[in-house]
A and B are shown apart, each in its own frame.
Chain A
Amino acid sequence: MGFKEYVGKRILQGIVTVVLAITLNFIIFRIMPGDPTQAMVGDPRMDPETRITLIAKFGLDKPLLEQFVLYLYNLFSGELGVSFVQIGRPVVEIIFGRKLVNTVILMGSSMFLAFALGIIVGVIAAWKHGTKVDLSSIVFSLVTYSMPVFWFGMLLLLLFSYYINIFPIAGTVTPGLAHANFFEYASDYLHHMIAPMVTLAVSFFGGYFLFMRDTILDVFTEDYMLTARAKGLSDRKILFKHAMRNALLPMVSIMGVHLTYLISGATMTETVFSWDGLGRLIYDSVRDADYPVLQGIFLMMAILVVMASLCADITCAYLDPRIKEAAE
């Protein structure tokens, strides 16, 4: 299979998955007990005029199949309905705004931190395979993997916000504080971000570390490692230039799928730290039964994960031609 064919096939698979996700999203909110229109307009908080408009727009009084067609049509024109709670505000406006930015900043930075640490510690552990260093980092990573991420966040808060008061207890910036300039704003924001970022990074670290260590151990058995040694390269060069580079590829390929776990972790962490992001929005919407918003976030995240794993796969296939052969 050539590279182009592989990419074409993967994109097609991605599209099928997205279509399935859209269909599932349509179905689960309509199999709920009671009135099937409930998920869009069945809330007493909604004012009657908006309700009538939405019923017409989404064809909620029509047969299911027709509803599905209208649903798709509205979806592609960027119409996801109106929030039950923030009365009259379109879902799209709620999701694609400040909350998205906050989540991307928090998740991006903690993912980067965990990824970098996982790689470095993974290389070292594999290098010291079987020693105390190796064993203790395995134990540490298994413990972080087993820890409920929200509880770790609560521990940090208890320790650093209650006993030693160095981190703020909640939010993204200090409420009511007028920031003199951008720099002041940024430092206030960062100050609020440290604890949730550490929480998330620690919870992601275990997975990345174990995977990296395993991959490096596999790389060590390859012939080119022997060649590198025969050429008389130093340990450091062999380790960081040859072993690490070859192990990075599988790391990139798991990142796409890994995104779903990151989203779960972010939801918990944002809830504990009252971080004003999409994760917190998921929690609030579940609590307040704000179904239109939930549908929107769910769909956006599914599409995001499909795209991320698609990009990861294509990058890997481009860098390593063996992958696309293994695909079938």
Chain B
Amino acid sequence: MTLDTRVKTRGLLRERVSSHATRVKDFWAIYKGSRLGMVGLSLILAFIIIALVAPWLAPYHPRALVGTSFLPPTEKYLLGTDQVGRDIYSELIWGTRISLMVGVLASAFAVAIGTTIGLLSGYYRGPLDSVLMRITDLFITLPNLPFILILAALIGRNIWNIIFVIAIIGWTGTARMVRSQTLSIKERPYVEAARSIGARDSQIVIRHILPNVFPLVFANAIIGTVDAILAESGLSFLGLGDPTQPSWGMILHYANEAGALATGRWWFIIPPGVCIMLVTIGFAFSSYSLDQILNPRLRKRRW
């Protein structure tokens, strides 16, 4: 490679990077204008900060037995204690980490599986497409909660297994969407051009198709996070969470088992649910605004 072409390539690359930067900047300019989106983003950031500074926020270790059981809220125990005498407030603070981690990782795994299957299916068509799409149909059909309950019960209750079972049911929407996008992008002139100068399939897919589906994949990952966090809390509530980790769903599970409802121990019930709801609202609002920006359907009433 001569110096000249090397300089040129570098120039092109720089242009590519800067065009990415302007695109991100443009996107941010629109996103800032959406009130729902900003509320959502602030909620997400707030919980990320709580998760990061958990050791300083929480007065006690989340697993430590610090008092007698079922204490009502006092200055010493801000939200009372649970059925074995752990500080509920500390459990909530530490639970932020579990919720965010499971939500984000499970959704990321799910989206990665979905994108891979969608790209393969849409790009190669033929028998591979048929097989992959039948598998996708199957996973769309599986009653998802019973399925993850069974899987979780069979493979055991630890945090990585939970992430795995949530991811394994969450990829179908992405797969279908990426497939249909790939079908249409594949026919575009620049893909034809790339193919005609002898670009390999992997190059075409990674350099031309993937960047074009990425925004939608990203939006799917955000809404997927809502579903994943809800799924984790549901699993934990049903008693299949990781017993070694403090999780919001788990606190609610113990509250339910210990009869907090019949005895009116609101501090055992309301705060964990509010936490779950605020995090998921953060992601849901963000996802809604993203969707508004990424799918700007020109909707003009005809009358």
Contact = CB atoms under 8 A, between A and B. Distances in A.
Q: Do A and B come from one complex?
A: yes
Contacts of A260: 140-144
Given A151-B273, A301-B146, A264 B234 contact: yes
Interface string A278-304: 000011001101000010011001100
Nearest to A229: B303
B256 interface: yes
A233 to B, nearest CB: 10
Interface stretch (B49-57, B147-155, B198-206): B147-155
B143 A161 contact: no
A306 B234 contact: no
A17 B237 contact: no
Contacts of B256: 154, 272
- The secondary-structure label for the interface of chain A is helix
Contacts of A158: 261, 264, 266, 269-270
Given A260-B142, A271-B238, A155 B269 contact: yes
B143 to A, nearest CB: 4
Interface stretch (B14-22, B110-118, B275-283): B275-283
Contacts of B178: none
B302 interface: yes
B170 to A, nearest CB: 12
Interface string A212-232: 000001101111011011100
Interface in B53-105: none
Given A148-B234, A297-B146, A287 B288 contact: no
A267 interface: yes
A28 interface: yes
A16 interface: yes
Contacts of B153: 286, 289, 294
Nearest to B39: A139
A152 B249 CA distance: 13
Contacts, number: 174
A21 B233 CA distance: 26
B284 A146 contact: yes
Contacts of A244: none
A229 B301 CA distance: 11
A259 B141 CA distance: 9
A115 interface: no
B252 interface: yes
- The secondary-structure label for the interface of chain B is helix
B138 interface: yes
A96 to B, nearest CB: 17
A24 B149 contact: no
B300 A221 contact: yes
Interface string A26-65: 0011011000000000000000000000000000000000
Interface in B218-265: 226, 230, 233-234, 237-240, 249, 252, 255-256, 261-262, 264
A230 B153 CA distance: 61
B194 interface: no
B192 interface: no
A150 B255 CA distance: 12
Given A162-B261, A163-B264, A268-B238, A263 B145 contact: yes
B142 A268 contact: no
Nearest to A297: B146
A294 B146 contact: yes
A255 interface: no
B36 to A, nearest CB: 7
Contact of B234 (A16, A17, A229, A268): A268
A240 to B, nearest CB: 15
Contacts of A283: 149, 238
A223 B301 CA distance: 10
A211 interface: no
Contacts of B270: 155, 158
Given A148-B230, A148-B233, A150-B252, A17 B277 contact: no
A133 to B, nearest CB: 15
B134 A148 contact: no
B252 A309 contact: no
B285 interface: yes
Contact of A306 (B134, B141, B147, B273): B141
B8 interface: no
Contacts of A218: 297, 299
A260 B302 CA distance: 37
A328 to B, nearest CB: 11
Interface of A: 13, 16-17, 20-21, 24, 28-29, 31-32, 138-139, 142-143, 145-152, 154-155, 157-158, 161-163, 169, 217-218, 220-223, 225-226, 228-230, 238, 257, 259-261, 263-264, 267-268, 271-272, 282-283, 286-287, 289, 294, 297-298, 301-302, 305-306, 309
The 7 tightest CB contacts between A and B, nearest first, are A264-B145, A151-B273, A229-B303, A146-B280, A226-B302, A301-B143, A20-B138
Given A146-B226, A148-B277, A151-B269, 19 more contacts: A13-B137, A142-B284, A152-B273, A155-B269, A163-B264, A223-B302, A226-B302, A229-B302, A260-B141, A264-B145, A267-B145, A282-B146, A283-B149, A283-B238, A286-B238, A287-B239, A298-B147, A301-B146, A302-B142
9 contacts: A20-B135, A29-B154, A148-B233, A151-B252, A151-B276, A260-B141, A263-B143, A263-B145, A282-B145
Interface of B: 36, 134-135, 137-138, 140-147, 149-151, 153-155, 226, 230, 233-234, 237-240, 249, 252, 255-256, 261-262, 264, 266, 269-270, 272-273, 276-277, 280-281, 283-285, 288, 297, 299-303
